[in-house]
Amino acid sequence: MAAQDRAKLMTGAKLLAALLPVTCGLLGVILSNLPVTLFGGLVPPPLLGFIPVYFWCLVRPDLMTPAAAFGIGILQDVMSGGPPGIWTLSFVVAYAVIQRQRDAFAGLAGGAAVLGFATATAIVCATAYFTTTAYFWHLAPLGPIVAELAITVLFYIPGAFVIGSLHRRLVGPLRSDF
């Protein structure tokens, strides 16, 4: 009986660990899209939802699937108020690139890791920019999207620290037998 309970508990814990990356992504999207601006709107909100996508796509792609990236992108689209599908497409395109170049990205450490994330975010922003340009059929200004890229990269350092801790303490131990 005790063994059964223990097994149930373990299954629940594994499920929690499996859902944690997606939950982090969704939470990041909600946080970054709260319609509250500090500094009078001078600084755009970072793409917090993309940090878990990037991190877990490199570390545990089985927990951050393309469908998860798609779902996080959809929430980003719904909450950001922009044209539908733009961020979804951008997240999925970036996911595809990261997945194809996974060995190159995963091997980076320190400042190079931040540079790697900056490259991935640049792909997201570039895709969003060009899709928006095609969507409205006129060139969008470059300044805001470059600012978005810069602020997202800036937030990657504390974001990766938090996500790394979560991964080490929860996701890693609970899913170690996979």
Partner 1 sequence: MPNNSWKIARRSNAQLPLVIVLALAVVLVLLGKAQSGLFDRARMRITDWMAPTLESVHAPVQAFNRWISSADELFVVYQENLQLKDENARLKQWRNVAVVMQDRVRHYQDMLHAVPDPDINSVLARVIGRASRPFLQTMILDAGESRAVKPGEAVVDSRGMIGRIYLSGDHTSWVILLTDLNSRIPVTIASADGKTATLQAIMTGDNTAMPLLDTLQQVVTLHAGDQVVSSGDGGLLPPGLAIGTVVGDGDTARVALLADPASSEDVEVLGFRKPAEILPATTPSQLPAVAAGLPPAAAPASVPIPAPATAAPGAATPATPLPTAPKPAAPPLGANLSAQAARPAAGGAQ
Q: Report the interface residues with partner 1, using CB under 8 A.
A: 33-42, 44-45, 61, 65-67, 69-70, 73-74, 77-86, 88-89, 92-93, 95-96, 99, 125, 128-129, 131-132, 135-136, 140-141, 143-145, 147-148
Under a CB-based contact definition with an 8 Å cutoff, are residues 166 and 24 in contact? Answer: yes
Task: Kindly tell me which of 35 and 111 has the beta carbon lying closer to partner 1.
Answer: 35
Task: Kindly tell me which of 131 and 155 has the beta carbon lying closer to partner 1.
Answer: 131
Task: Kindly tell me which of 17 and 72 has the beta carbon lying closer to partner 1.
Answer: 72
CA 150 – CA 165 distance, rounded (Å): 24
Smallest gap from residue 107 Cβ to partner 1 (A): 15
Sorted by sequence, the CB contacts under 8 Å of residue 57 that are 6+ apart come out as 64, 69, 95, 98, 99, 102
Instruction: For the beta carbon of residue 62, count every other beta carbon within 10 angstroms.
Output: 10
Query: Residues, the chain, total?
Result: 178
Smallest gap from residue 67 Cβ to partner 1 (A): 6
Smallest gap from residue 159 Cβ to partner 1 (A): 19
Instruction: List the structure tokens of 64.
Output: 């951050």
Sorted by sequence, the CB contacts under 8 Å of residue 163 that are 6+ apart come out as 24, 51, 52, 55, 56
Smallest gap from residue 78 Cβ to partner 1 (A): 5
Instruction: For the beta carbon of residue 8, count every other beta carbon within 10 angstroms.
Output: 10
Smallest gap from residue 152 Cβ to partner 1 (A): 11
Task: Kindly tell me which of 136 and 161 has the beta carbon lying closer to partner 1.
Answer: 136
